């Protein structure tokens, strides 16, 4: 049986969040393309763990909800960075963060909303 795209995306994305958070702590600020702020790193690790927890339930609606929700948060973070809204000062965004938030946000929301939908029977 073929795995739903939302499950596959979250299977790849959740560990990436955890690794990104850990690398944020390990990468010297002078070499970092992305923010290395501790709260930002903890945010990634926490939500990566949440994503893995949702995967363990094997419930597609939860994977879809995570993808849409986290994607929306990513898009908000890009807006927040440009507009100086919370949590910009706390997370210390860099332009690379903004670009990644826009790309990942659109991908996650798009897959979450439009992939794995049950097609309705023909009328």
Q: Rounded CA gap, 93 and 106, in Å? A: 18
Q: What does the pLDDT average to over 50-79?
A: 98
Q: CA 38, 68, 49, 87: dihedral to nearest 10 degrees? A: 20
Q: Is the pLDDT of residue 121 over 60?
A: no
Q: What does the pLDDT average to over 72-101?
A: 97
Q: How many CA atoms lie within 13 A of 82 on its CB side?
A: 10
Q: Is the pLDDT of residue 119 over 70?
A: no
| pLDDT value at residue 118 | 78
Q: What does the pLDDT average to over 91-118?
A: 96
Q: Rounded CA gap, 114 and 101, in Å? A: 19
pTM of the predicted structure, to 2 decimals: 0.91
Q: What does the pLDDT average to over 15-33?
A: 95
Q: How confident is the model at residue 123 (pLDDT cuts 50, 70, 90)?
A: low
């Amino acid at each position: 049986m073929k795995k739903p795209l939302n499950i596959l995306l979250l299977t790849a994305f959740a560990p990436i969040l955890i690794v990104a958070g850990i690398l944020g702590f390990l990468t010297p600020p002078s070499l970092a393309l992305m923010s290395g702020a501790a709260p930002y790193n903890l945010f990634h690790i926490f939500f990566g763990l949440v994503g893995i927890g949702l995967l363990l339930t094997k419930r597609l609606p939860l994977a879809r909800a995570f993808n849409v929700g986290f994607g929306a948060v990513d898009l908000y973070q890009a807006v927040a960075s440009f507009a100086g809204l919370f949590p910009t000062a706390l997370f210390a965004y860099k332009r690379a963060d903004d670009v990644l938030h826009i790309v990942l946000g659109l991908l996650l929301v798009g897959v979450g909303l439009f992939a794995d939908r049950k097609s309705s029977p023909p009328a």
